[in-house]
Homo-oligomer: A and B are copies of this chain.
Amino acid sequence: MSKKSLLQGENEKSFREEENLGIVDSLVQLSYLVHSILSRVGESYNLSIIQIRLFGILRDREPSMLQLAQHLNLDKSSVTGLINRAEHRDLVKRTANPNDSRGVNVILTPVGQKLTIEVATEIGRQVTALADSLTENECSQLSILATKIIGAVR
C-alpha cells in the first residue's frame, strides 16, 4: 500500500491507479473532505470550524466555561477568547451559575440559535451530497461502520 499518499491533501490526484487507499489513507482523506465542507460552510457564515463545534455543543447544553474547554479540548483561556468574540457578535451569552458565583454558563442567543440551525442544515446538505456517489445500501453501511468506530472510542 502506498505509504506516500498517507498525508496528502484532498486535492491530490497522483494515486488514481490505486484501486483502494487502505484504511489509513481513506480515513485521513475522507476526514479532509468533511473538514473542507465544514470550513467552506463556516466561511459563508463567517464562522470558523471551532465556532461551528462550539455552536453544535451549545445547541443542546448550557455548559460552563470549563466544560466547554473539555468538550473542545482547549485551554480555559482559549475558551475565554472564543466566547468573548462570539459574545461581541451577539451569538452567545454568559449567564451566572446560581450555585457557584465563580461559575459562568454559556448559552446561545436567539441570533446564535438561528445561525446554528442554518449552518447545520447546510452542512447536512453538503455532507449528504458527499455520499451521493454511494448507493443507499452503501450509505447506510458506511454510517453503521463509522458509528461503530465512534461508539468504540467513546
Of B29, B53, B117, B145, the residue contacting A150 (CB under 8 A) is: B29
- Flag if A143 contacts B60 (CB, 8 Å): no
Chain B binder among A34-42, A79-87, A93-101: A34-42
Copies of this chain per assembly: 2
Output the least CB separation between A61 and chain B (Å): 9
Question: Chain A interface residue count: which class?
Answer: 35 or more
Of B13, B20, B34, the residue contacting A144 (CB under 8 A) is: B20
- Flag if A130 contacts B153 (CB, 8 Å): yes
- Flag if B33 contacts A117 (CB, 8 Å): no
Q: How far is the CA of A7 from the CA of B151 in the complex (A)?
A: 16
Q: How far is the CA of A65 from the CA of B151 in the complex (A)?
A: 41
- A110 interfacial contact with B, CB 8 Å: no
Specify the chain B residue showing the minimal Cβ separation from A3.
B120
- 20 A-B residue pairings within 8 Å (CB atoms): A6-B53, A6-B59, A7-B53, A7-B116, A7-B123, A8-B56, A8-B60, A8-B124, A11-B73, A20-B144, A20-B147, A23-B142, A23-B143, A24-B124, A27-B34, A27-B127, A28-B34, A130-B149, A141-B145, A142-B145
